[in-house]
Amino acid sequence: MNEFKLKLLSKTGNESFARSCVSAFCLELNPTLEEINDVKTAVSEAVTNCIVHAYNSQEGKYIDLSVRIENGKVEIIIEDEGCGIDDVEKAIQPFYTTKPDQERSGMGFTLIKTFMDKVDIISQKDKGTKVIMQKEFKKE
Amino acid sequence: MRLELTNNANCAVAKLDGELDEGCVKEVREKIDKFIAGNHFGQFIFDFSGVSFMDSTGIGMLLGRYKNLKQLGVPIYISNARGHVDFILSTAGIYTIMRKIS
């Protein structure tokens, strides 16, 4: 078992740092390039959601990342204390976005679900959102 | 992310290099829109050969340019998207509105 935790400012540009950290941490599981890219994309989407949606691009807020590796599986938890999601079922629909004026594609959760094995979204209005995702790396 | 915009023989090319995400998308969008406003061309190509990473932020950027260029009657093509980037473009249905070329 191995684990790391990271507290990150809700700053544009930190998506790149977050996905690099998580993917580097997963290297001990000998993932394929494709699996690493899957994890990178899912982390990038979830952290971007925190910055753009949860905190409405307001800097100075924090995003918590917790990554745990066990039995060839990675569990990534990305949590914010932002505005929360009104309707999670709606939010995960492809092309649904609350910010069409900002050219948001509405594909974030769709890609997370495509690339990870299991995704849970727990959200409370004005309290925050927690995205828990898991992926198992295939053995050669 | 590096962006190079050229216009040759009625064909505009936006060559993107690096990682396309929230951190750079605003600048990419603004540069492309300024270029579109100041140039005349009959087709627009996004050269993705140098894009090593892209998330849904890139999809939003492409859809926005599609809307603008459609009004001008200019078709968009996407060239040389690699593995993961190609998969995301295809999952989001981008290839149904922008033809894939190599």
Q: Min CA distance, B7 vs chain A (Å)? A: 25
CA A50-A55-A57 angle, 5° bins: 95
- Report the topology of domain A2-136: Heat Shock Protein 90 (3.30.565)
The correct answer on CATH 3.40.50.880 for the domain covering B2-101 is no
Average pLDDT, chain A: 95
Our answer to whether residue A104 is catalytic in this structure is yes
Helix (H, G, I), strand (E, B) or coil at B60: helix
Distance from CA of A48 to the nearest CA of B (A): 7
pLDDT of residue A39: 98
For residue B102, the model assigns a pLDDT of 83
Question: What's the confidence (pLDDT) of residue B92?
Answer: 95
Is A15 within 8 Å of A51 (Cβ atoms)? yes
For testing contact with chain B, the best of A14, A41, A63 (most B CBs within 10 A): A41
CB contact under 8 A, A16 and B84: no
pLDDT at position A70 is 95
Sign of the C-alpha dihedral computed for residues B1, B90, A135 and A44 taken in this order: positive
Q: Quick check: A111 pLDDT over 90?
A: yes
Chains A & B: contacts with CB separation below 8 Å: 64
Q: What's this model's pTM, rounded to 2 decimal places? A: 0.95
- Which of A44, A63, A96, A114 is the best mutation test for B, with the most CBs of B within 10 A? A44
Q: Give per-residue pLDDT as tens, B22-61.
A: 999 999 999 999 999 999 999 999 999 999 999 999 999 9
d(Cα A84, Cα A125) in Å, to the nearest integer?
A: 4
ipTM: 0.92
Share of chain A above pLDDT 90, in %: 95
The 3-state DSSP class for residue B73 equals coil
pLDDT at residue A21, rounded to an integer: 97
Domain ranges across chain A:
2-136
- pLDDT (0 to 100) of residue A101: 85
The residue annotated as part of the active site, out of A45, A68, A71, A136, is A45
Chain A residues with CB under 8 Å of a chain B CB are 12-13, 15-16, 19, 33-34, 37-38, 40-41, 44-45, 48, 51-52, 102-108, 110-111, 114
Cβ atoms of A49 and A55 within 8 Å: the answer is no
**What are the DSSP E strand ranges found in chain A?**
2-9, 62-70, 73-80, 118-124, 128-136
What span, in angstroms and rounded, lies between the C-alpha atoms of A77 and A66? 5
How far apart are the C-alpha atoms of B44 and B7, rounded to whole Å?
Answer: 9
Considering only CB atoms, which chain B residues are within 8 Å of A41?
53, 55, 84, 88
pLDDT tens digit string along B62-73? 999 999 999 999
What residue ranges do the domains of chain B occupy? 2-101
Binned at pLDDT 50, 70 and 90, residue A140 comes out as low
Residue A139: predicted pLDDT:
78
